[in-house]
Chains A and B, each alone.
Chain A
Amino acid sequence: MVIGWKHGFKSGGETILKSSAERLINKVEPLGAMTLGRVQSVGRGALFFLQGLFQILVLPIQFSKILEHTWFIGTKSMVVIVLTGIFTGMVLGLQGYYTLVRFGSEGMLGSAVALTLIRELGPVLTAIMVTARAGSAMAAEIGVMRISEQIDALETMDINPVRYLFSPRIVAAVISFPLLTALFDVIGIFGGYITGSLLLGINPGIYIYRVKESVLMADITGGFIKSLVFSLVVTTVCCNRGFFTHLHSTGGFGAKGVSHSTTTAVVHSCVLILVFDYIITYLLL
């Protein structure tokens, strides 16, 4: 405004004033549009999620599709989970040992490793690894179906695309995530045992004893709840991004659009996993 006035005295005040106001509006306008766009896309995501949940219960239950996706999300993620689990456990054992040994309490290693894994790292790392493996695949596959009109084709056949594409994946993820998390936890605890007992010489009996003694049912329930919530977050974010690829043209069209959807799906899932992790931990403690 001030600048507008200054220039205004030199040449045709009115127009300069108007143009600077216009410039201001032009700066603010995209901000408003962006905010509205964000709100809209969150709303769309929520509706998508609710519709997906509802369609799970609509008969007939899609058993074969649920099975197929469970195989993809669950079974095929096992190798990744075993690998990350064992190394996470081993590094926890290593770090934990050198921290605890300073206080002369390296005997506590078992509880340190087990609690860290069961409460936090198990659910979170499992969810992130499954996002990277299966979540990205969901976003890409559904995104390609969107841009090649396959989702439109489903609609013309009176097949509900949300029910067909999203609902079985929710069920499959709800089945797979807790099981994979449990696998991760067990393998991780074993990894801690490898470094702690086999390499650094803590008595194996003490390690196992500490694990058994310190883990309470509440810890396991907490980890279970987390993995359930993450399964919903990951499938919803990834399927939603793929499904609405055509509405996010800022990332490009066609193949670029799909790649943008996939990237965003993975990034948003990972961020949301950590956000929800914090919220659930806060509520549980």
Chain B
Amino acid sequence: MTQPFIELKNVKKRFGSNRVMQGVDLLIFKGEITAVIGKSGCGKSVLLKHIIGLETLDSGVISIAGQDLSAMDREARKRFKQKTSYMFQNNALFDSLNVFDNIALPLAEGSSLSKKEIRDRVLMRMEQLEIMGIEGRYSAQLSGGMRKRVALARALVTDPDVVLFDEPTTGLDPVRKNAVHSMIKAYQERFGFTAVVVSHEIPEIFEIAQRVAMLDKGRIVFQGSPEQIKESTIDVVRSFINGIEETNREF
């Protein structure tokens, strides 16, 4: 097996008395799409935020290409950040900037591209995501699905090597959902980027992911290929992917 690109070792995190991560071990390989599944509120977003550095872990190690993230110097961290994009679960669009400026911002602030080049790249992304013609509108004037696609365009406009998607398809209609999935897939095939996709689209997400990891009660209870997860004998995994509430003892 090759070296993992991103590796989480025994990562723990608590918010007050809420122990969200209780020793997460996860491997993410270069050029692969890794799907992270799990119940709502089990800490999937928190997991992604640790990788990009928005949250700091209490204990454990996250390493990027063999380098400890917390011990990285400023330059190395900057380099990692520059080629990594994050798509927020609730989009986090800049609501006082219009759609065009939203998508263009990472380029306008973080690159030395000319105005025209930026414009071309933004419009190309917008075309791919079928959101042409709304450049001048503001996030409050868009439908939920459009916002999602604007956020996607913003995450992809920098041609990142690593993209962390937090529920990219939640709230989209089935057609757009498939479009987003096949776009992620096509991107990966063309540019070979590494993606971590938090998703509730089961089983569709298994079609595009090379690896699947399931988070439950603060731990990764399964990681492996989509074929393996379908065969899994672990109770929580089986009942989750079949959409059955685990033995309803609570009721």
Residues of A within 8 A of B (CB): 141, 144-145, 148-150, 152-153, 155-159, 164
Contact = CB atoms under 8 A, between A and B. Distances in A.
A148 B105 contact: no
B19 interface: no
B95 A159 contact: no
Contacts of A144: 95
Contacts of B96: 141
B86 A156 contact: yes
Contacts of A150: 92-95
Contact of A149 (B81, B82, B90, B109): B90
A152 B94 CA distance: 11
Nearest to A163: B109
A251 B53 CA distance: 27
Given A155-B54, A156-B52, A149 B110 contact: no
A157 B106 contact: yes
Nearest to B77: A158
Given A141-B96, A148-B95, A152-B54, A159 B88 contact: no
B109 A156 contact: no
Contact of A157 (B49, B95, B109): B109
Given A156-B81, A164-B109, 15 more contacts: A149-B88, A149-B92, A150-B94, A150-B95, A153-B86, A153-B88, A153-B92, A156-B52, A156-B54, A156-B84, A157-B106, A157-B110, A157-B158, A158-B81, A158-B110
Contacts of B217: none
A157 B95 CA distance: 16
B85 interface: yes
Nearest to B108: A159
B230 interface: no
Contacts of A145: 94
B14 interface: no
B137 interface: no
A144 B140 CA distance: 14
Contacts of B84: 156
Nearest to A157: B106
| Across the A-B interface, the 3 shortest Cβ-Cβ residue pairs | A149-B92, A156-B86, A153-B92
B19 to A, nearest CB: 20
B78 interface: yes
A158 B82 contact: yes
A235 B72 CA distance: 33
Contact of B109 (A141, A148, A159): A159
A24 B208 CA distance: 61
Contacts of A158: 78, 81-82, 110
A149 B93 CA distance: 8
Contact of B110 (A148, A153, A159): A159
- Residue from the set B53, B84, B85, B106 with the largest chain A CB neighbour count within 10 Å: B106
- Residue from the set B92, B94, B110 with the largest chain A CB neighbour count within 10 Å: B92
B94 A153 contact: yes
14 contacts: A144-B95, A150-B92, A152-B54, A153-B92, A156-B52, A156-B81, A157-B105, A157-B110, A158-B78, A158-B81, A159-B106, A159-B109, A159-B110, A164-B109
Nearest to B102: A153
A155 B81 CA distance: 9
Contacts of B95: 144, 148, 150
B251 to A, nearest CB: 30
Nearest to A141: B96
Interface string B52-72: 111000000000000000000
A150 B81 CA distance: 16
A130 to B, nearest CB: 20
Contacts of B88: 149, 152-153
Nearest to B85: A156
A155 B158 CA distance: 15
